[in-house]
Structure 1
Amino acid sequence: MNKTLLYLSIFLLSVTGAFAQRFATLKGTINTSDGKPAESVSVGLKNSSIGAITDADGRFQFTRIKPGTYTIKVSAVGLTAEEKEITVTAGSTTVVDFSLRESANQLNEVSVTDRRKRYKIDNPSPSLRLGEPLLQVPQNIQVVSSDQLKDQQIFNMLEGAARNVSGLVPQEHWGNYALIYGRGDRIVGFRNGMNIEASWGPLNEDMSFVDRIEFVKGPAGFMLANGNPSGFYNIVTKKPTGVTRQSFDFTAGSFNTYRGTADLDGVLTGNGKLQYRLNLVGQSSKSFRPYDFTDRIGVAPVLRYKFDDKNTLTAEYSYQYQKMNAFGTGYLFSTKGYNDLPREFTNAPANSPDSKINDHSAYLTFEHKFSDKWKVTAQGAYFNYKQIGYSYWINSIKDNGDVDRNLGLWDAINRNKLGQAFVNGEVTTGAVIHRLLGGVDIGDKYYIADYNQSGSLDPVTPFNIYHPDNKAVTLPVFDRETPLSERGKGTVSTEKYQSVYLQDELGFFNQQLRFTIAGRFTHAITTDPYSGDTESRQVTPRLGISYSLNDATSFYGVYDQAFLPQNGNIFGGGKVKPVTGNNFELGAKRDWFGGKWNTTLSVYRILKNNQLTADPDKHGDPAASYVIQLGQTKTQGIEFDARGQITTALNLMFNYAYTSSAISKDTDPANVGTAVPGFAKYVSNAWLTYRLQEGGLQGLGLSLGYVWQFDRRPWSLAGTSKSDMPNYFRLDAGASYQVQKFSLALNVNNLLNNYLISGGHEDYLSPTGSTVYNWQAEAPTNFRLSVGYRF
C-alpha cells in the first residue's frame, strides 16, 4: 500500500518538475456599508473562468493565480457591480477588500427575492478542521446544502438526505435515529464535528436547524480514529450570520401532515457584536398506516458574541421533542416473501401506546485567531436523550399467517459528554508551505435502557396477517415505578476515549502539489452487558497526496486507518475484538465553468477486520442476541458525484456508485466470498431543477429526481446472503414559484406509486424453520405543499 503511494508521489513530482510554475494567491473580504459581511456575492476575474461566491463571513479566495494584471469584479443580484484592477506577482498573496454601497438589509432584500439556489459548496465547515478548499482535500467529501434539502422538502434525517450522495443506502428504522449504510457498512453520525453516535440514538436531526450535511467517505483521522472506516456524516447547524433576516414556512401534505418553521437571524446590540439565530419547528403528521403518527417540536437558539476580530464565543442549544406510535409498528413479517402484505398493513392494535422522546443538546465554542494564518478552537458539548416508549416485534409466525405479537417496554437514557480543542496554522520553510493541524478529543458516552419487560398481545388466540383484526387488546402491565437505573442495570453500555492528533500538509510549488502526513493516538474503554470492559490503544496513520493540474482540476490519493471498539454476545463466550480497517482511495475532482458545478470520481478499497454481524443461529434461545465475528471483509467500488449550477437556470445533482462487499477471510473457508449485509451493488440518484429567468413566468421552477438501487443485499445474513431484495426505483417531482418575498413549492414523491421496501431475514421466528422475511414499506404517492415568506 505504501509503495503505491510512493510510486504515485514520484510520478506527480516528475509531472510537476516538467510543468510547474510559480503562482500567486488572491483573497479578500466583502462587507456592506454598515460593516456586515456580504454573503453569497459573486467574485470573479474578468475574461477568465476563475470565480467564487463569498461565504458567511464575506470571504473569498483564489489560489494558483498566474502572475499578471487582472480586473476583479464583484456582483450580486440587484446591486451595481464593482471592479478593481490588481497586479499579482509569483509566490505572493494579494489581499483585496470591498465595501458595498448597500447595507446588509438592502443586500438581504434583493437576495431574498431572486437568490440562485446553491447546490455546490466550495469549502468545508470549520467543524471539519480542514483549512483548505474541498477541491484540494485528498478525500471524497460531498456537501449537501440547505437549499438542496429545501428543494426536496426533506424534513428530517430519515427522509432521504442521503440520496444526494453516491453509494449511500438508508435502511429501515425504528423512527428515532437514522440508519444509513455506505461503503459496505453503517456510516457514523456527527454533529458540528463531534461524534454523537450512540446506542439507538440520539434523535435524528430536524432539517429546520441544519445548515448543511457533510458526508465524508472512508476513514478520516483528522476527525476521529475510533469510528467506522466506511465514513461519517457531519450535521452542521445554523449559526448567526450578523445579517438581520427572518423567514417563515408552512407546509401541508398527505396523511394530515402540517408543519410550521421559523428562522430568525439578527443582532442584539448596535455594534453587531452580539448576534442571534433562532429556529423553531412544530409538526403534526399521520401515516399511510393505521394508528401511526409523529408529532414533533423543536427549538434551537444560538448566541454568538464577537469580542473583536480575533475572539468569538458561540453558545448553542437545541431541544427536540417527538411523540409517536410505539416503535416498530412499521415492520411487516411473512414466510412467503417480501411484499406479501399490503404496504398499509400493520400489526398494531387499535389501542397501541405512545412513545415519547426528549432530546437536549448544548454546545459552547470558543475561537481565537492569532493571525490570518493561525487559529485555535475549543468546544464542549452535552447531549441528553430520554425515551419513554414501547416497541413491537413478534414472538413467532407460522406459514398460515398466525402471529404471536409481542409488546415490549423501551425506556432509555443516552448521555454524551464531548470535548475537543484543535489548532490550525500555516508556516513556510523555504519553498514548502506547511498547513498544520493538531488537536485533542475526549468523549464520555453512557446508555441505559429497560428493554427486558415484554409480553404477548395474543396469549390465547393468534393474530393472523391474512385475516387481521386490529381490535383493542389487553396490554401487558409493566413496572415503571422502579427507577430506570435499577431496571436497566444489565443493559448499560459506555464508551470513554481520549485521543491526540497531528497533521502536516506540505505544499510545494505554491500549493500545486500537497503531501499529507498525519497520525492519531487513541485510548478507548468500552463497556457492554455481554463482555464487560474492553480497552483499546491504537495508533492510526494517515498519508495523502493531492495534485492540482490547474486551478479547477485536482487528483488525489489517500491511505487512512481507523478502528472501532465494539462489544457483543458471542455464543459460548469469547472476547469481541475491535474493528480495524484501512482505506486506500484514488480520485479526481474538477470544477466546471468558473466553479459553478463540480464532479468527483473516486475508486477505493476498504479492508475491515473483526466485523460483527447477527448470528443467524439462536442456539435454542429465541430471545438471545448473539453475534458472529467475521475474519475480514473487503469492500471496493467506484463513486461519481456531480452537483452545482450547470447554467443560470439549471441546478443538477447526479451520482452513481458501484459497490462490492464480501467476506475475504474467515475461520470457516466456506464463508469466503459471501456478501456482507446491508448494501446495494448499484446505486444512482439525480435531482434536477430548472427555474425560468425571464418572461411572465419568471421565478417558476420545475424539478425532477429519482432514486435507483439495484442488486440489493438484506441487512441480515440470516437465511441467505444472496440478492433477494427487490430492486428499488422511486421517481419524484416538484414545482416552485418565487415572487418578491413569497415562495410556493409543491413536491410529489413516489410518482409511480411503487411498492418500496427495505428489510432482511429473521429465521428464528419460524417454529418450522421457514425463512421469515421482515421489511418496512415506504409511503405510496404523496405530496407536500409549502408557502414561505422572507423579510
Structure 2
Amino acid sequence: MKTYTFLYLLLVFNLSLLSAQSTSIRGKIVDSDGIPLFGATVMLSENTGTTADYDGNYSFSNVASGEYILKVSFLGFEPQQKKVSLNGQKELQFNFTLNPSSEQLQEVEITGRSEKSYKNNVTFAATKTATAIKDIPQAVSYVTKEVFADQQAYRVNDVIKNISGVNMYSYYDDFTFRGFRSGATYINGLRVVGLFGPEPLLANIERVEVIKGPASAMFGNSIPGGVMNRVTKKPLAQDRKAINFTVGSYNTLRTTADFTGPINEKKTLLYRLNLAYENSDSFRNLQEKKSYVIAPSISFLPTEKTRINFDLVITNFDGKLDRGQPIFGATSGSDIYSTPVSFAIGQTSDFHKTDVVYSTLSLNHKFTDNLSFNASYIKYVAQEDLEEHRTSNQFALDANGNPIPTLMGMQVISRKGQTIADNLSSYFVYKANTGALAHKIVAGFDYNEQKQPIGNAQSFARGYLLQGGGASSSAADFANFLRDDAGNPVPNVPHFDLQNPTYNVARLSDYIFINSPSDPTKYYSYGIYIQDQIKWNKFQLLLGGRQEYYNDISNFDQPDEQTTTQSKFLPRVGLVYSASEAINIYGTYTESFQPQGVAALNNPQAGGPFDPVNAYMFETGAKGEFFNKRLAANLAVYYIENNNILVNANDTTNPDLLRQRGQEQSKGIELDVNGRILPNLSITANYAYNEATITESDNPDEIGTRKENAPLHQGGIFGKYTFNGENLKGIGLTLGSNFVGKRNTLEPTLQLPSYVVADAGVSYNVDKFNIRFLVNNVFDKTHWVGGYSYTRLYPGTPRNYLLSVGYTF
C-alpha cells in the first residue's frame, strides 16, 4: 500500500512540475488597417499550428519550455516570424500586424484581395504585374467593395462619384474621363463588349479602377482620357460567407450573397460564389426592372509554382431602355425645368432584355524564382432583345415645316442581336539584376476580337406618312407628306405630347416599318509589347513600347469581304522618385491610338482617307501613404492633346462628307484620398479641375468651346465613423457629399446646371449582424448627371432611402 501511495504522489508531483513548466501563447493578427485576418496561419513548430478565428485571435496551450520560431502567414500579405523563448511562464502574448505584399506569385489576379478597407494597395492592370499603386508613374483611381457596401451602391453608375475626373454622360455604361467620352469596357484587364444599355451590377465586383490618361501601351486602341477596369471577386483561402437583404424607395427589393473559402484541407482548391437579385421601380416613369447575377469562381493551386482561376458570370436584365427626359424645344427657350425629372418617353409595352455570359480563365506558372508565364482569356457573349418608343431627336413639324416645341417626334425600334468578344493576354515576366539595377521585364502578346454574326437585325418606324402610301423621314418629301385637318404632317408614329403625356400598350401593326438586317461585322486587333521596370536606389524607371495592329472587316464572311488595317507604335516612359518613405514623386509620357471606323475609311463620299485619332499625355504628380500606411493620397497634374477627331461636315449636298476637326486639349489637376485616418474613421475624397476644350477646328465657332459633359470642377467626400465607446459600440455614422460644375451638351444653347448632393446614413453592427440605413440626396436637390440635347437629358435621383440587413458567418 505504501508503495502505491508513493508512486501516486510521485506522479502528481511530476504532473504538477510539467504543468508549472508549460506556457500558454495567445495573440491577435490584423492587417495594417487594424482589420482582423480571419484564417491566418500560425505555426509554432513544423508539426504544431493553428489558424486565427473570426476576430483574428489565436492560441496555443500547454507549450513546453524551449526555443521556438513563431511564424504567421496569410495569402496576399508578407509573412512574419518571431523568436520565442519559453522558461515556464504562465502566459505570453504575441500580436502581429501584416502588411500587404505586392510581390506575390501571381502576376494575374487569381486569388482575391483579403483587405477590408477603402484603400487598395496593388493593381495588376496598369503594368501587367502586381505593382504597388504608389510605384506606378501614372494616376490610378479606384473604389473598393467596402465603399460599395457603405454607400449601398448596386451599379457602376452609383460609385463613379468617388473617382476624380470621371463624370456620367448618360444613364448607360457611358462616362467622360478627363473630358473624353469613354470607349471600350474592360473586365480583369481584358476588353469586352461595351453595352450601351443596362448599367453593370456590382455584386461580383471587387473594385472598380480607372487608369487615367492614354493607356494604349497596355491595352491597345483606347481613348485618351483613361480606361475603366472592373475586377471580379476571386476566391479567398479563408472561409467567409455573407448574405444581405435591401429594401428602399421606388419599391426596391434586393438580395446578395457572397460565399468563399477552401474546398480541401490543403487549401489548394478555393471557391467563391456571388449571387444577386433585384426587382425595383424608378423615379422615372415606366422604368421598372428585374435583374440577377450568378457568378461562381474556382482557383486551383496545385503547386507552389502554378495557379489557375476560372470565373463564370451570368447576368440578366429585364426592363426598359431609358432614353432620358425630354424638355420643351429651343424655340420655346432653354428651360430645363419645363418638364418634371420623372418624365420619360415610351409606351407601357416597351421592353429591353439583355443576357450577358462571360467566362475568364487565368494561368500563372513560375518556372524559376525569376521567370514566370501568365495568360488570361475571356469569352464574352451579349444578347439583346429590344422594343422601344423613343424620340427621333427632333420636334414635330407644323404645316410650314417649323418645329413645335411641345410635341416630340417619335420613332419605334425593334432589335434583336448578339455580340461576341474574345480576348487573350499572354506575357512572360523576368526579374534580373544588372549591377545596382533591378529589372522586372514584361514581354507579351495580346489578341482581341469582336464580331456580330449573321442574324442580327432591326426594324424602324419613323418619319411622316406619304400621300401615296408609305412613310419618309427625308425633308425633300415634305410637300408629299399626308396632312391632318390643321395642315400639319401626319407622323408614322404619333407625336408625344410633352404637355399631356399618355402611355399605352402600343400596337406595332399601326406603324409602317422598314426592315434593316445588320451585315455581319468583325474586327480584331493584336499587339506585341515589352516593358521594363527598373529600380535603382530611390528611382524607379518604367520603359515600355507596343506595336499595335487594328483590322476592321467589312462584309464579314461574304464573297466581297474586305479588311482594312491600321497600325501604330505606342511608347510609354515613366519615372518614380521616393522622396521619403511616405511620398513618391512621378512623371510620365504616354500615347493613345484610336483607329477610324471602316465605314468612314471605305466610303468614297466621306472624303477620306483619314488619319487615326492619336493623342499624347504628359503627367506629373505625387503619391503618399500616411497614418501608418492606412491612408493613400494621389495628386496628379496632366496635359493631354488629342488630334484627328472625325466629325460630320454638315454638307447639305453630301450628308456622308466627314471632316477631321483638328485638335482637342485637356489639362487639369486631380486629387484622390482613400483609407483610414483613424482605425474607426474611413474616408474617400476626390477633387478634379479639368479644362477640356476644342483648340483647332475648321469651324471657328467651335474653337475654345468646352467639350460636352466635361465639368470644369467636380469632387466629393464620403466618410464613415464607428463608435468605440461601450455605450455606442457598433454604431456607425456615414456622411457624404459630391458636387459637379456646369456642363455643356451637344446643343450649343443648352447647359446643364451645377449641383451639390448630400447623403447621410447610420449603421449598427451587433455580433454578426449589420444593419444599414442610408438617405441619398438628403436635401432633394433637382439635378442632371448628364445629357445630350433638349430631347434627351438624364436627371439624378431625388431623395430616396435604402435599408439593408446583412449577416456574416
Q: TM-score range by the shorter chain?
A: 0.7 to 0.9
Asked if residue 557 in structure 1 is aligned to residue 608 in structure 2, the reply is no
Q: Is the 8 A contact 1:284 1:295 kept in 2?
A: yes
Matches within 5 A, 1:69-468: 81-82=94-95, 118-125=117-124, 129-159=128-158, 161-174=159-172, 177-186=173-182, 188-198=184-194, 200=196, 204-221=199-216, 223-328=218-323, 334-335=329-330, 336-337=333-334, 338-349=336-347, 351-395=348-392, 396-397=394-395, 398-447=403-452, 449-455=456-462, 459=492, 462-468=495-501
Equivalent in 494, 509, 526 of residue 552 of structure 2: 526
Cα distance, 1:409–1:212 mapped onto 2, change above 3 Å:
same
Whole-angstrom distance in 2 between the partners of 1:255 and 1:590? 42
For 1:702-741, list aligned pairs within 5 A: 702-714=733-745, 716=746, 718-720=747-749, 724-741=751-768
Structure 2 counterpart of 1:341, one-letter code: T
Question: Residues 635, 588 of structure 1: CA spacing in aligned structure 2 closer, same or farther, 3 A cutoff?
Answer: same
CA shift in 2, pair 1:521/1:458, >3 Å: same
- Between the aligned partners of 2:422 and 2:214, the Cα distance in structure 1 is 23
Cα deviations by residue, 1:2-48 (Å, 9 ceiling, x for unpaired) = xxxxxxxxxxxxxxxxxxxxxxxxxxx96346688999989xxxxxx
**Contact residue 217 and residue 590 of structure 2 kept, 8 A:** no
For the residue of structure 2 that corresponds to 1:149, the secondary structure is: helix
Q: What's the CA shift string for 1:319-369, capped at 9, x where partnerless? A: 0000012452655564332222011122223x3321110100011111112
Structure 1 residue ranges without an equivalent (≥5): 1-28, 43-53, 63-68, 73-78, 85-92, 97-110, 763-771
Q: Secondary structure at the match of 1:223?
A: helix
Q: CA deviation at 1:550?
A: 1.7
Judged with a 3 Å threshold, the aligned counterparts in structure 2 of structure 1 residues 126 and 291 are, in CA distance, closer, same or farther, namely: closer
Return closer, same or farther for 1:221/1:574 CA change in 2, 3 Å cut-off.
closer
Cα offset, 1:372, TM superposition: 4.2
Question: Structure 2 vs 1, CA of residues 41 and 631 (structure 1 numbering), >3 Å: closer, same or farther?
Answer: farther
How much does 1:626 deviate?
7.8
Change (3 A) 1:227 1:146: same
4+ residue runs over 6 A deviation: 34-42, 69-72, 477-482, 528-532, 624-627
Structure 1 residue 420: deviation in Å? 0.9
1:455-488 per-position Cα deviation (integer Å, ceiling 9, x unaligned): 4796486432012233444335799999xxx821
Q: Structure 1 length as normaliser, TM-score?
A: 0.80
Corresponding residue for residue 693 of structure 1: 724
Match of 2:29 in 1: none
Cα shift at 1:700: 1.0
Greater RCO (CA < 8 Å, at least 6 residues apart): 1
Corresponding letter in the other structure for 1:726: P
1:580 and 1:460, CA in 2 relative to 1: closer, same or farther beyond 3 A? closer
The residue that corresponds to 1:611 in the other structure is 645
Indicate which of 31, 35, 52 corresponds to 2:41.
31
Q: Which residue of 1 aligns with 2:675?
A: 644
| 1: CA distance, partners of 2:536 / 2:54 | 31
Structure 1: distance between partners of 2:783 and 2:391: 22
**Aligned length in residues:** 687
Q: Could you tell me which residue of structure 1 aligns to residue 619 of structure 2?
A: 585
* Residue 808 (structure 2) pairs with residue 790 (structure 1): yes
| CA distance in 1 between partners of 2:525 and 2:248 (Å) | 44
How far apart are residue 540 of structure 1 and its match?
A: 0.7
Deviation, 1:516, is 1.5
Q: Per-residue displacement from partner, 1:220-242 (whole Å, max 9, x unpaired)?
A: 35521311121111111011112
Mapped to 2, the partners of 1:154 and 1:580 lie a distance apart of: 35
State how far apart, in whole Å, the 1-side matches of 2:129 and 2:53 are.
23
CA 434–588 in structure 1, closer or farther in 2 if over 3 Å, else same: same
Deviation (angstroms), 1:209: 0.3
Q: Counterpart of 1:307 in 2: which secondary structure? A: strand
| Counterpart contact for 1:367–1:375, Cα < 8 Å | yes
Q: Any gaps of 5 or more consecutive residues in structure 2?
A: 1-38, 44-48, 58-71, 85-91, 105-112, 396-402, 464-489
Task: Quote the offset at 1:676 in angstroms.
Answer: 2.3
Contact 1:719-1:761 within 8 A present in 2 as well: no
Q: Which moved more, 1:330-339 or 1:431-440?
A: 330-339
1:187 and 1:231 in contact (8 A); partners too: no
Q: 1:478 and 1:272, CA in 2 relative to 1: closer, same or farther beyond 3 A?
A: farther
Q: What is the distance in 2 between the residues matched to 1:148 and 1:620?
A: 54
Distance in structure 2 (CA, Å) of the matches to 1:134 and 1:630: 36
Distance 1:577 1:80, change over 3 A: farther
What secondary structure, in the 3-state scheme, does the structure 2 residue paired with 1:703 have?
A: strand
- Tell me how far 1:561 sits from its aligned partner: 1.0
Change (3 A) 1:601 1:120: same
Deviations along 1:261-308, one digit per CA (max 9) or x if unpaired, are 111112222322221111111110111123221110110011111111
Question: How far is the alpha carbon of 1:56 from its aligned partner?
Answer: 7.1
Q: Secondary structure at the match of 2:303?
A: coil
- Confirm or deny: 8 A CA contact 2:350 2:388 kept in the other structure: no
C-alpha contact 1:323 1:355 (8 A) present in aligned 2: yes
Q: What are the within-5 Å matches in structure 2 for residues 536-551 of structure 1?
A: 536-551=566-581
Q: For residues 435 and 699 of structure 2, what CA distance do their matches in structure 1 show? A: 56
1:503 to 531, 539, 549: 531
Distance 1:627 1:32, change over 3 A: farther
SS at match of 2:146: helix
Partners of 2:448 and 2:339 in 1: CA distance: 44
Q: How far apart, CA to CA, are the structure 2 residues paired with 1:374 and 1:693?
A: 48
Q: Secondary structure at the match of 1:693?
A: coil
Provide the C-alpha distance between the structure 1 equivalents of 2:726 and 2:525, rounded to a whole number of angstroms. 60
Q: Deviations over 1:360-406 (max 9, x none)?
A: 00111111123444322111110000000123432332444122322
Q: TM-score, normalised by structure 2?
A: 0.78
Letter in 2 for 1:31: T
Q: Is the 8 A contact 1:443 1:498 kept in 2?
A: yes
Cα drift, residue 204 of structure 1: 4.0
Q: Using the alignment, how far apart are the partners of 1:616 and 1:777 within structure 2?
A: 31
Find 1:780's aligned residue among 792, 798, 806. Answer: 798
Could you give the per-residue CA deviations for residues 53-87 of structure 1, whole angstroms, max 9, x where no partner exists? x997242399xxxxxx9999xxxxxx964369xxx
Q: Aligned in 2, Cα 1:527/1:173: closer, same or farther, shift over 3 Å?
A: farther
Given residue 745 of structure 1, which amino acid in structure 2 is its aligned partner? R
Letter in 2 for 1:385: A
Report if aligned partners of 1:221, 1:561 keep a CA contact under 8 Å in 2.
Answer: yes
Q: Taking every aligned residue pair, what percent have the same amino acid on both sides?
A: 24
- The structure 1 residue matched to 2:713, chosen from 667, 672, 682, is 682
What's the counterpart of residue 632 of structure 2?
Answer: 598
RMSD: 3.6
What is the distance in 2 between the residues matched to 1:617 and 1:40? 66
Contact (CA 8 Å) 1:359, 1:384: kept in 2 or not?
yes
Instruction: Give the secondary-structure state (helix, strand or coil) at the position aligned to 1:150.
Output: helix
Which AA in structure 1 matches 2:121? D
The higher radius of gyration belongs to 2
Q: 2:774 aligns with which of 718, 729, 747?
A: 747
Offset at residue 544 of structure 1 (A) = 0.8
Q: Is the deviation greater in 740-749 or in 466-475?
A: 466-475
Residues 274, 304 of structure 1: 8 Å contact kept? yes
Distance 1:626 1:735, change over 3 A: farther
